[in-house]
Amino acid sequence: MSETFDLIPVLPELFLVLAAMALLMAGVFRKDEGFGSTTSLAIMAMVAAAVLVWAVGGDERQTTFGGMFVMDSFAVFAKLMVLVGSALTAAMSVSFLEREKLGRFEYPILILFATVGMMMMISANDFIALYLGLELQSLSLYVLAAYNRDSVRATEAGLKYFVLGSLASGMLLYGVSLVYGFSGSTSFEVLPRIFGGDHPAAPHLGFIAGLVFIIAGLAFKISAVPFHMWTPDVYEGAPTPVTSFFAVAPKIAALVLFTRVMVGPFGDLVDQWRQVITFIAILSMFVGAFAAIVQTNIKRLMAYSSIGHVGFVLVGLAAGTADGVQGVLVYLAIYLFMNVGTFAVILCMRSKGRMVEGIDDLAGLSRTHPLMALTMAALMFSMAGIPPLAGFWGKFYVFKAAVDAGLFTLAIIGVLTSVVSAFYYLRIIKIMYFDEAIEPFERVSGRAMGMVMALSTAVVLLFTFLPGPLLTSAKAAASVLFPQ
């Protein structure tokens, strides 16, 4: 165990904060002239932070700030996913924002501060630290949602996200206050000793109520049903690069945080929270499968798709086992590349000098942009869970964990909703390959888009043949939450 105020475990976060403040000062003096260079420097800072995470992390569990911040294999795995997602979405956004005259230096800096908040959430070992990280992330995301201040839709999206996010934060804080009131602690290390061990105490009804409020607050952050109402409007209203960021890094960070909170401090109360997680998982899978069928805007469709994927991830969490957490991490890693690649294609949907967002606008893409269509087809097949693509294995591992834990009904519902959701993924492929093109897309320049598409396609196609590194890393990360 490290010293109480050892700063080594928190070096990646400190580096990113200093980098963000330095870029903020540089941006103030250079104004809008330095958007491209500021974004490039922000991406380099995230790459450097990923190297620091890899170097600082290790097999040994390290804590600092009085045990409120923890660095372990689970945190390393999750932080690397978040940094990769943030860096890729930032790289994809440059050409779009410059074309739309939205290239302001604040954008990459807000992404950096949001990423620092996510990394703090992932390493939170106390509810106070959790809340600080969560709010740092949320405040940055509220601004990003309304980043296009000349757009009524973007302003509305930012306002909705802010109001509902504030409500969710209040619910979370109320739940934490109840947990503290009935247990006397907010520490993730103390709470398991109260309700576990050789002489566990029976949880008070007020403590269980606090747990439910915490789950409700965190469910909003991952846009799980019935706390999903903000997601379609914010995804549609926010600028597309912001939507791509929302769909990847914050979603992964919140799901990882959710997993740590449920399995860590409340691991011995799995029978109390499993039924709640199962309920919201089923609702999320149903809404994600059926509500997306009628969507005509591809960003709204991706919003409901993300809700469905959250339901599948929660299936692994509901198992409450090491295999379930391993399945969650594998699913999130695959989800990262599937979504980044899909949004790279969406960012290329440009016709007659303007962005288009209709699903029908993809008609005839296979004839006008065959490589882009091939990428989209591979990603849609993967999201639908068609073997042998990576998406199939993501679902396989979470469903297997549920079956091993005896949650047969949940696994069956997951399979059935996955079949339903395949309809709208396959519909996109049908439109691209069998419908006639009305307005062909413009040729989009930029190496970042092509590289992201190629990387995402390679991951979903090749994972079946080289699953070992990801599975081994995920297993080692999951085992940290289940000490022998």
Main-chain dihedrals φ then ψ at residue 480, nearest 5 degrees: -60, -35
Run of H or E including 350: strand 350-351
Q: What is the arithmetic mean of pLDDT over 260-280?
A: 88
Q: Give the contacts of 132 (CB within 8 A, at least 6 positions apart).
A: 120
Angular region, 242: left φ>0, alpha ψ -120 to 50, beta rest? alpha
Helix, strand, coil % over all residues of the chain, rounded to 5: 75, 5, 20
Instruction: Quote the pLDDT of residue 3.
Output: 44
**Do the domain assignments include residue 301?**
yes
Q: What is the arithmetic mean of pLDDT over 433-462?
A: 82
In the structure encoding, which two tokens stand for residue 171, read together?
């619910």
Task: Give burial (CB, 10 Å; 0-12/13-18/19+) of 452.
Answer: buried
Q: What percent of the chain has pLDDT over 70?
A: 96
**Do the domain assignments include residue 281?**
yes
pLDDT band at 201 (very low <50, low <70, confident <90, very high): low
Low-confidence winner among 63-72, 90-99, 138-147, 352-361 (lowest mean pLDDT): 352-361
Q: Is the pLDDT reported for residue 32 higher than 70?
A: no
Q: Report the alpha-carbon distance of residue 59 to residue 82 in Å, rounded.
A: 20
Task: Indicate the DSSP class of residue 204.
Answer: P
Q: What is the arithmetic mean of pLDDT over 82-92?
A: 92
Q: What is the dihedral of CA 215, 221, 227, 228, to 10 degrees?
A: -150
**Do the domain assignments include residue 2?**
no
> Greater confidence, 196 or 255?
255
Instruction: Quote the pLDDT of residue 1.
Output: 42
Identify the three-state secondary structure at position 271: helix
Sign of the torsion angle spanned by Cα atoms 43, 48, 51, 57: negative
Q: Report the alpha-carbon distance of residue 281 to residue 302 in Å, rounded.
A: 18
Q: What is the arithmetic mean of pLDDT over 267-277?
A: 86
In the structure encoding, which two tokens stand for residue 295, read together?
């969507």
The domain containing residue 195 runs over which residues? Answer: 8-479
Pick from 151, 334, 118: which is nearest to 240 by CA?
151
Q: What is the mean pLDDT of the chain?
A: 88
**Do the domain assignments include residue 51?**
yes
Q: Is the pLDDT reported for residue 440 higher than 80?
A: no
- Name the one residue in this structure whose structure tokens are 């919003």: 303
Q: How many CB atoms lie within 10 A of CB 376?
A: 25
How far apart, in Å, are the Cα atoms of 339 and each of 41, 243, 246, 453, 455?
A: 24, 11, 10, 10, 12
CB distance 379 to 457 below 8 Å: yes
Q: What is the arithmetic mean of pLDDT over 420-430?
A: 92
pLDDT band at 198 (very low <50, low <70, confident <90, very high): low
Identify the three-state secondary structure at position 69: strand
Q: What is the arithmetic mean of pLDDT over 368-382?
A: 90
Low-confidence winner among 34-43, 111-120, 126-135, 444-453 (lowest mean pLDDT): 444-453
Q: Residue 211 carries which side chain, given as an amino acid letter?
A: L
**Do the domain assignments include residue 82?**
yes
> Greater confidence, 115 or 58?
115
> What value does the CA radius of gyration of the chain take, rounded to a whole number of Å?
21
**Do the domain assignments include residue 1?**
no
Instruction: Quote the pLDDT of residue 305.
Output: 92
CB distance 31 to 120 below 8 Å: no
Low-confidence winner among 36-45, 204-213, 226-235, 432-441 (lowest mean pLDDT): 432-441
Altogether, the residues listed in the chain come to a count of 484
Q: Count the alpha carbons within 13 Å of 255 in the hemisphere toward its beta carbon.
A: 37
pLDDT band at 2 (very low <50, low <70, confident <90, very high): very low
Q: How many CB atoms lie within 10 A of CB 363?
A: 21
**How many domains, in total, are found in the chain?**
1
How far apart, in Å, are the Cα atoms of 480 and each of 218, 271, 476?
A: 22, 21, 7
**Do the domain assignments include residue 484?**
no
Q: What is the arithmetic mean of pLDDT over 154-178?
A: 90
Low-confidence winner among 200-204, 291-295, 382-386, 417-421 (lowest mean pLDDT): 200-204
Q: What is the arithmetic mean of pLDDT over 136-155?
A: 88
**Do the domain assignments include residue 334?**
yes
